[in-house]
């Protein structure tokens, strides 16, 4: 599974070309200074029939309506939102890897690891 992060303002500089019905788009959309831009990107992706998985605050009805799947996190201040919104994505990655039968604790091609004693 290829996944790539990009800022909301960068979507039209390339990532938009990848959008299609079989390519899900995962969006982190806290109500911050870029919220409207992020919603605009969601609408662009929806226009290309890409399924939307969104992570946003639990009282965000607008985001829940725009996304195919909405994951809710508790509201927090903008500066703390990365700490809250990343948890559902980590759990998503973990469960996706587990479902695919990936070696979660010993990934292939790992060149270096740290052992804690």
Buried b (16+ CB within 10 A) or exposed e, 17-43: eebeeeebbbbbbbbeebbeebbebbe
Domains of the chain: 8-99 (3.40.50.10490)
pLDDT tens per residue across span 8-23: 888 888 888 889 999 8
Q: What is the pLDDT of residue 1?
A: 67
What are residue 26's DSSP bridge partners? 53
Among 45, 36, 40, 42, smallest CA distance to 16 is for 45
Global model pTM greater than 0.95:
no
pLDDT band at 112 (very low <50, low <70, confident <90, very high): confident
């Amino acid at each position: 599974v290829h996944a790539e992060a990009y800022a909301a303002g960068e979507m039209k500089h390339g990532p938009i070309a990848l959008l299609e019905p079989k390519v899900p788009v995962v969006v982190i959309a806290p109500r911050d200074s870029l919220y409207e831009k992020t919603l605009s990107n969601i609408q662009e992706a929806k226009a290309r029939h890409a399924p939307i998985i969104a992570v946003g605050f639990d009282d965000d009805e607008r985001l829940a309506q725009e996304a195919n799947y909405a994951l809710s996190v508790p509201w927090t201040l903008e500066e703390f939102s990365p700490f809250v919104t990343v948890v559902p994505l980590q759990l998503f990655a973990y469960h996706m890897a587990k479902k695919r039968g990936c070696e979660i604790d010993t990934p292939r091609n790992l060149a270096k690891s740290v052992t804690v004693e």
